[in-house]
Amino acid sequence: MRSGRHEGDWEMLQVGLGARGQPQVVTFAQHSWRQACAWGDVRHAGAAPVAYVAHASHATYPRSGTHDRPWPDPNDEARGDGARVRPALRVIEDARPAWVASPRRWGSSRAAWWNPVEQSSPVGPRFQEDRRWRAPAAWHAAARSCTARPPGYPWWAFAALAALVALALARRLRGRASPAC
């Protein structure tokens, strides 16, 4: 089963500022969910928060280590032993840089209709369905706490998977049945 294999996807972290412009919270994007940690609960490199990026999945985490993901996806490994990068701060607006305003997909992956947990490559950030671009405070408000486990898949994902397994099993059993003589 393929799940979540969608090139061109991107994750992020968001720093929430208090009334005086001081950092108060960091929200880490992790696949289809997010995790919010108080500024003081996150490691820092100088004035910047440290994020641990999971190998082969690009989810961001506040701590190194193995991070649980809902079945059937494998757990994320964010060991903290990879390259250390400090990207330059760039102001991003609704139309600048140009990649923000592009409604095109960032990869060629397309989700299979029969797999409820698979995702297509995403469109540009301004056109994504979640609220991180248009309403960052609301996106943060829906984050789970810094110590909470990841959410499970919704019931319909398991129901659809069970239905597919039942159909495959019925088809296989029907193929084994021999006609009566």
> CA triplet 52, 142, 9: central angle to 5 degrees?
45
Whether the predicted pLDDT of 7 surpasses 90: no
Q: How do the domains of the chain map onto residue ranges?
A: 13-152
Give the separation between CA 16 and CA 179, rounded to whole angstroms. 68
The pTM assigned to this predicted structure is 0.74
Through-space distance between the first and last CA atoms of the chain, rounded to whole angstroms: 39
Looking only at Cα atoms, what is the longest distance across the chain? 86
**Per-residue pLDDT tens for 19-65?**
999 999 999 998 878 999 999 999 999 989 999 998 888 889 999 99
**3-class SS at 70?**
coil
Structure tokens at 111: 């989700």
**Per-residue pLDDT tens for 73-102?**
778 889 989 888 888 888 888 788 888 878
